[in-house]
Amino acid sequence: MAKELLKPTTVSNAKPGDKGKRLNDGNGLHLLVKPTGAKWWRLDYSIDGKRKTLSLGVYPATGLADARRKAEDARAKVANGIDPSETRKEAKAVKQVQAENQKRLDAGLPILNSFEHVTRDWLASVEHTVNTVTHQKKIRNFEIYVFPAIGRMALNEVKSPHVYDIIIPLIETGKLETVHRIRSEISVAFAYAIAHGFTDYDPAQAVAKQIPATKVKHRAALTDPKEVGQLMRCIDAYQGTFVVQCALKISPLLFQRPGEIRQMEWKDVDLTAHE
- Please tell me the least confidently modeled range out of 42-51, 188-197, 256-265: 256-265
With a cut of 70, say whether residue 196 has pLDDT above it: yes
Note the pLDDT of residue 203: 96
**CA 270 to the chain's CA centroid:** 46
Q: Is the same domain home to 128 and 189? A: yes
220 belongs to a structural domain: no
Q: Is the same domain home to 79 and 161? A: no
Cβ 40 vs Cβ 34: under 8 Å: yes
Give 23's Cβ-side CA count (13 Å radius).
23
Note the pLDDT of residue 275: 54
Q: Is the same domain home to 176 and 247? A: no
Q: Is the same domain home to 121 and 169? A: yes
Domain range spanning residue 127?
A: 115-210
76 belongs to a structural domain: yes
13 belongs to a structural domain: yes
pLDDT digits (tens, 9 = 90+) for 208-258: 988 888 766 667 788 888 888 898 898 888 888 888 888 888 888 888 888
96 belongs to a structural domain: no
Q: What percent of the chain has pLDDT over 90?
A: 56
135 belongs to a structural domain: yes
Q: Is the same domain home to 160 and 76? A: no
pLDDT digits (tens, 9 = 90+) for 170-195: 999 988 989 999 999 999 999 999 99
Domain total in the chain: 3
Count Cβ atoms below 10 Å from residue 207 Cβ, excluding itself. Answer: 21
Q: Is the same domain home to 64 and 136? A: no
65 belongs to a structural domain: yes
With a cut of 70, say whether residue 90 has pLDDT above it: yes
Average pLDDT over residues 100-107: 80
Note the pLDDT of residue 1: 56
User: Average per-residue pLDDT in the chain?
Assistant: 89
C-alpha dist (Å) from residue 118 to 146, 191, 194, 257: 13, 11, 10, 34
Q: Is the same domain home to 140 and 165? A: yes
